[in-house]
Structure 1
Amino acid sequence: MSTEVDGDASLDMAAIFGEQRRLIDHFFDHFDASQASKFVHEIVECAGTVFFSGVGKSGFICNKIAMSLASIGVKSAYLNPLDALHGDIGNCEKSDLLVLFSKSGSTAELLAMVPGARSKNMKIISVTCHECSALANKSDMNIYLPLQRELCAFNLAPVTSTIVQLIFGDTVTAAVMRKLQLTLESYALNHPAGSIGRKLLLTVRDVMRTGSDLSRVSIHSTLHAGVQELMRTGSGCVVVTQGVFLKGVFTDGDLRRLVADDRFDIRGAIENYASKKPLCIQDESMKLVDAERLFHSGSKSVSCLPVVQTRVEGIEVLGMLVLTDTMRALA
């Protein structure tokens, strides 16, 4: 087999992609969207789990569709046909829905699953590229995906039918999202580790520094002790407290200005150098994405925000939100 591909004038990639587009357009031009509407209804109304099953490449598409639906809160899963025939059909119940993907509609393993599904009184929906097929005839509902031919030169390799299956599955998923009126917050709950999830779910409480991670010195401490605490945590800010109550903050910016002006006593009381009315966060349950804006909300940007709660006795320090920690959490 020749490995030379560069500069092969006989390989017109633009024409090949154009042909693939025309084959996909055939699907869009001839697909009955009302079938998809009924399918969406079945998914939304399913009281149990929507099981997807297919063999080979169709199986990979089924797995992807099941995962996509699960990510928006629909109980769905991929059911391996071979495993189903050897016991896994036991996971299925009457309230479940079985969706079988097969280009030909004659896949032996899927046809063999039908009696087991019937014994469970499951509803069966087949998705095929042939309207009149054995699988369509054995299903409660058949969805026909029009396919003119495969892009494969022999019309055998499923290089177009799988695209059509995926387009159908992903479009149905998007339709289910609209049918369920899924909110961004609900979507985030299923993606806690993703960027969207972090931005919508993380709160100040999740990221703020507390305990030994919190830079804190007593109001009676020296400036020297405050500088040491700055160096210990690297947070860029030290809260000055009397007991648990906030009396001020001292930042590395304050230190730089003192050094530049040469007007400090390293053994002097830190309360003489601390800012007495720092910008604070009053609600530790505030969404982190909202809190991030506070770093730049004042007349000048700050790198740390004490997290506090107001009590009769004074303003209690709960923790400290650091800009670098916040940006890292939201990245």
Structure 2
Amino acid sequence: MSRKLTLREMVIGGCRFFHYLLRGGLFNVNLEVTKRCNARCDFCDYWKEAPAEELADYVPVLRRLQPLSVSLTGGEPLLRKDLAEIVASLRRNFGFLVIGLITNGWLLTPDRGRELWEAGLDELSISLDYLDERHDRERGLPGLTRHILAVIPALKEAGVKVCFNLVIKKGNYREIPAFLERAAALGVRVSLSTYNCWRTGNDRHMLGPEDLPALQKVLAYAKDFKRHRDTLASSDFYLDHVSEFFRNRGVAGCTAGLNWVQVTPDGMIKRCSDQPVACHYTHWRPDRFGPTDCRRCWYACRGAAQEPWTFRRFLELSREALL
């Protein structure tokens, strides 16, 4: 059974809750620390973009935006040799900030993971869609899956909190139960996110109407699995909208720009990763973006930001940072 929250978790969660209520601001910032990428994913076009200027210090950016959490992304963030310094600087300056990192894992070593963890990282997320060479092929990095699975034990031994980010696709959704079991055996959590073909037009990974009955069974299994194990990080709120997304090719009610934003390596603000640049961070105001009728995605970052706020949710946020 899932364990109860400890007193320490409740105190930290409560502090974050009241700090956020009193201060306001954004729930999350997806911070691209680089556009460079060493992967060649067939469902992503970031690696095709020209390199952008990269700031050395993102403290002024987050001081302006005041988020509850930040996800360091790319491109491939581990290409930044000063990444540990970036994490340490954020940790020194923002006591309540939850700091996550998303990597494809190719450059990840036990020493690098330990360095980032000791710098103040709260969670190290590794993209992994399959447990075999299919993941390598789709990422354009032969041997990637083997490398990821090999480095996990040393990371866990060092105390690093690791999470696999799995993108739900036509080729892997039936394997999610087995994936969860393998992750549980490794002591790694799993976050699910839906595939989206809007940017690239590559719809071969999209689930069709014929997949929905089986998908519903997989999601029901995942929710039941979550009630008995601490492996699945995705909320019921998020999972409850996954079938809707694939059925309707979208989910209404996006809050991008209102309680979460995207920041480019050079400090420009975007409503989300799929929208154009709106302004430099120095020109950011909380009312910079109004409501949007966009419904094209159901990414995990969107679902987390849109989940209704309750005190229990903030306690669980604390738990996420400590598991």
Judge same fold: TM > 0.5, yes or no.
no
TM-score, normalized by length of structure 1? 0.26
TM-score normalised per structure 2: 0.27
Could you say which structure has the greater relative contact order, defined with CA pairs below 8 angstroms and 6 or more residues apart?
Answer: 2
